Amino acid sequence: SAVISQKPSRDICQRGTSLTIQCQVDSQVTMMFWYRQQPGQSLTLIATANQGSEATYESGFVIDKFPISRPNLTFSTLTVSNMSPEDSSIYLCSVVPLNTEAFFGQGTRLTVV
Amino acid sequence: GESVGLHLPTLSVQEGDNSIINCAYSNSASDYFIWYKQESGKGPQFIIDIRSNMDKRQGQRVTVLLNKTVKHLSLQIAATQPGDSAVYFCAETWQKGGADGLTFGKGTHLIIQP
């Protein structure tokens, strides 16, 4: 298993600003993922963040809008840049320890006003 | 993949009854399927998984059924309890522990009536 800590748990931000979300895992994992969950909807994969390489983004998501860092095997950040109200969502970090299922953090509830 | 609607389907059952939550997945190449439970204000929590070489798997009070012919997955919860109230998502991927991330279904909001 894996225990994931996400910060902040929630935030209210002004449009045009940026927010960096942190994800800390209690064990070393190769694969980390970032998801977005818009209000009342399912989860959508934003990108895969593996240590030592550039993040891989899914269709509809770009690095300029959602830059990701992965400095080591226990930590990652996702930045939501130049925010607009449409970015209001829950952002979730997920890890997949070797040969197990995916574990999720509690999520960061972002409201852009 | 599936389009995502604005509202999650809702299933309301009496406490103690059995519930069945259904999910249609999109990728015929998916090899591994998972059910997650998401309570309000929390991240998804693993319930049960199944590989594509199986058609049924049982856990404690939960059973997952997989029909690859019609790309359909179901979660059966026996003797539902108030703590089962949550949103349930199915997810698919290429392989357990794989590097592809998960594709989630629409989700179903399960409400347990007292």
Instruction: Output the six-digit token pair for B41.
Output: 């204000």
What count of other Cβ atoms lies within 10 Å of the Cβ of residue B6?
A: 8
pLDDT tens string, chain B, 114 residues long: the values are 333 334 579 999 999 999 999 999 888 888 999 999 999 999 999 999 999 999 999 999 999 999 999 999 999 999 999 999 999 999 998 766 667 789 999 999 999 999
- Please count the CA atoms within 13 angstroms of the CA of B54 that sit on its side-chain side: 12
Smallest Cα distance from A13 to chain B, Å: 19
Q: What is the tally of structural domains in chain A?
A: 1
Q: CA B13, B18, B19, B24: dihedral to nearest 10 degrees?
A: -160
User: Among residues of chain A, what percentage have pLDDT more than 90?
Assistant: 84
Chain B residues with beta carbon closer than 8 angstroms to that of A33:
101-102
Residue of B nearest to A91 (CA): B43
Residue-level pLDDT at B2: 39
Residue type, A103: F
CA distance A35 to A64: 16
Contact B112, B13 (CB under 8 A): yes
Contacts of B36 (CB under 8 A, 6+ apart): A104, B44, B45, B46, B47, B88, B89, B90, B91, B104
CATH number reported for the structural domain that contains residue A11 in this entry: 2.60.40.10
**Which pLDDT score is estimated for B4?**
35
pLDDT of residue B100: 77
Residue A13 has pLDDT above 70, yes or no: yes
pLDDT value of position A101: 85
For residue range A54-102, list pLDDT tens digits in order: 899 999 999 999 999 999 999 999 999 999 999 999 999 999 887 778 9
Residues on chain B touching A107 (C-beta within 8 angstroms): 41-43
Percentage of residues of chain A with pLDDT beyond 70 = 100
**B34 vs A: CB within 8 A:** yes
Tell me the residue range of the domain where A35 lies.
4-112
Distance from CA of B62 to the nearest CA of A (A): 17
Buried/exposed B50-83: b ≥16 CB within 10 Å, e otherwise: bebeeeeeeeeebbbbbeeeeeebbbebeebeee
On whether the B33-113 domain is CATH 2.60.40.10, my answer is yes
Note the pLDDT of residue A84.
98
